[in-house]
């Protein structure tokens, strides 16, 4: 179902009714849609970069602020934990109170929290502000996909989503590189603090872009959030994510296993509450949507496999080749370059013609390229260098880019506009869960093998596990609709 979008004065962003096909009364798409997309991408960059920069800066931070090893771990884990906990709740809240409003709150708050991080004079203040960053990122990020679904016409949405591939790849690799550069440059004598202060102009650009160009969208007649449901999903997410983030480094003490076990009944209680709530956090239509539910399975298994691969490669370069974290980041450049090649190729050419097959092609390319990594390690043995691995890592990135472009489009195309915020929050949460599980599983396998086998053997075995996970991800893709637009039209 589509409705007309009223044309607003240029000085104020319009309010677009839900379930709009983004056309105004003259039948033209929302005029500022590409500038809105640019604003959303700025927010994505802030989130992806800040999730990784502290990994490089941790030694410098500890030298200046002091603090225990546990405090350093909380600086790393606090962001991921609070981000994962808030995604589902704030994704749904955007449907209720307005997606532009929450995007602005998240972007402005994230910028302010970054300033506090940069001014921190104690480990405790930095940890607290990192938690705030993660939570405000959870306020901001789910709104982007939901807004895009409403302002882009069907013939352009695939191209819009294809831009996320290069941004995700380059940001993930660029975070450590940027952190290393800023710390070494020591601009204004600020050292590691610049990794947070650099967010100020970026965050302000996101705020200005949202104020000027972003339309307001929300579901009319929406009710309040269910407080018990918010508590249960937050508890379940914390019980799952925290031990996954910290368990491997701590050697999987008993309490981490108990937390993971407790996550299962917590999620079950949340599901029970959702069925009985008059104001569910997850829109009920999503769970009846076959394409969306299948998409959650694909995105979880895919990021589980990709996060496992990234960890294995970083372990190889840092522990096997004895690279510094910064140099290890440089070694990931071929992977990022591959994503920058594959995503526009898929979004602009392959996905519109092949639909689901473009995504499946990407997963196959990634699995084969990972096989190339294993073959390279097997061929060169202990003499393997990063240069030997460039062809395979480049091909892995191209495969990832082929997946990124159609993945979000296919999953979200079958979702009604009124549930788009909730859908985006759950989708991003499952991405976080999958990534955390991938790092925990592959990392544990690697370090369990290392004492009994040579480093090279442990790496090769971990690569094979990652390949197996890609095969699982490929199998789940067959549950997706063949084409995003056909599934979307079936709901019209």
pTM of the model: 0.81
pLDDT confidence tier of residue 17, bands split at 50, 70 and 90: very low
Which is more confidently placed, 64 or 154? 64
Express the helix, strand and coil content of the chain in percent, nearest 5 each. 80, 0, 20
Span 87-117, pLDDT tens digits? 888 988 888 888 899 999 999 999 999 999 9
pLDDT of residue 43: 92
Q: 8-22, 190-204, 370-384: which has the minimum mean pLDDT?
A: 8-22
Residue 431, pLDDT > 60, answer: yes
pLDDT of res. 77: 79
The residue among 466, 468, 469 whose CA lies nearest residue 316 is 466
pLDDT mean over 200-211: 94
Mean pLDDT estimate for the chain? 83
Query: Residue 219: what pLDDT?
Result: 67
pLDDT at 221: 59
Confidence tier at 469 by pLDDT (50, 70, 90): very high
d(CA 487, CA 306): 27
Note whether 148 and 157 are within 8 A (CB).
yes
CATH of domain 16-224: 1.20.1250.20
pLDDT higher than 70, residue 295: yes
- Which CATH number applies to 283-492: 3.20.20.10, 1.20.1250.20, 3.60.15.10, 3.30.200.20? 1.20.1250.20
Strand, coil or helix: 324: coil
CB atoms under 10 Å from CB of 114, counted, come to: 25
| Tokens read off for 123 | 């480990």
DSSP annotation of 481: -
Residue 259: pLDDT over 80:
yes
């Amino acid at each position: 179902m589509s409705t007309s979008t009223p044309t607003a004065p240029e000085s104020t962003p319009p309010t677009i009714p839900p379930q709009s096909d983004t056309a105004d009364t003259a039948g033209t798409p929302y005029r500022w849609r590409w500038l809105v997309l640019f604003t959303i991408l700025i927010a994505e960059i802030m989130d992806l970069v800040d999730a990784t920069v502290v990994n490089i800066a941790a030694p410098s931070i500890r030298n200046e602020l002091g603090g225990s090893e546990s405090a350093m771990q909380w600086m790393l884990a606090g962001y991921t934990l609070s981000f994962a906990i808030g995604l589902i709740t704030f994704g749904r809240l955007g449907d209720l109170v307005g997606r532009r409003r929450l995007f602005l709150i998240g972007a402005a708050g994230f910028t302010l929290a970054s300033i506090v991080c940069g001014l921190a004079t104690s480990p405790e203040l930095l940890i607290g502000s990192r938690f705030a960053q993660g939570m405000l990122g959870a306020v901001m990020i789910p709104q982007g996909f939901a807004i895009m679904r409403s302002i882009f016409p069907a013939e352009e949405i695939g191209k819009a989503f294809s831009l996320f591939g290069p941004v995700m790849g380059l940001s993930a690799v660029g975070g450590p590189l940027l952190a290393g550069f800023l710390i070494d440059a020591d601009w204004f004598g600020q050292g590691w603090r610049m990794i947070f202060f650099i967010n100020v102009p970026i965050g302000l650009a996101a705020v200005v872009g949202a104020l000027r160009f972003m339309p307001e969208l929300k579901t009319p007649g929406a009710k309040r959030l269910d407080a018990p449901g918010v508590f249960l999903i937050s508890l379940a997410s914390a019980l799952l994510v925290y031990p996954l983030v910290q368990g491997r480094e701590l050697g999987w003490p008993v309490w981490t296993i108990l937390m993971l076990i407790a996550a299962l009944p917590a999620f079950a209680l949340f599901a029970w509450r959702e069925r009985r709530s008059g104001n569910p956090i997850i829109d009920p239509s999503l769970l009846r949507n076959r394409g969306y539910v299948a998409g959650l399975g694909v995105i979880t298994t895919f990021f589980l496999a990709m996060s496992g691969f990234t960890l294995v490669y970083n372990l190889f370069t840092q522990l096997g080749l004895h690279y510094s974290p910064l140099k290890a980041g440089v070694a990931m450049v071929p992977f990022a370059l591959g994503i920058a090649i594959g995503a526009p190729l898929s979004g602009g050419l392959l996905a519109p013609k092949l639909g689901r097959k473009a995504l499946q092609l990407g997963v196959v390319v990634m699995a084969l390229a990972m096989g190339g990594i294993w073959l390279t390690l097997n061929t060169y043995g202990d003499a393997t260098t990063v240069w030997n691995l460039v062809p395979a890592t480049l091909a892995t990135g191209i495969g990832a880019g082929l997946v990124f472009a159609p993945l979000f489009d296919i999953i979200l195309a079958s979702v009604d506009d009124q549930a788009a915020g909730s859908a985006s929050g759950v989708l991003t949460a499952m991405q976080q869960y999958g990534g955390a599980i991938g790092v925990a599983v592959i990392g544990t396998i690697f370090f369990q093998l290392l004492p009994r086998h040579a480093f090279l053997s442990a790496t090769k075995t971990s690569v094979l596990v990652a390949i197996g996970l890609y095969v699982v991800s490929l199998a789940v893709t067959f549950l997706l609709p063949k084409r995003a637009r056909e599934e979307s039209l079936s709901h019209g």
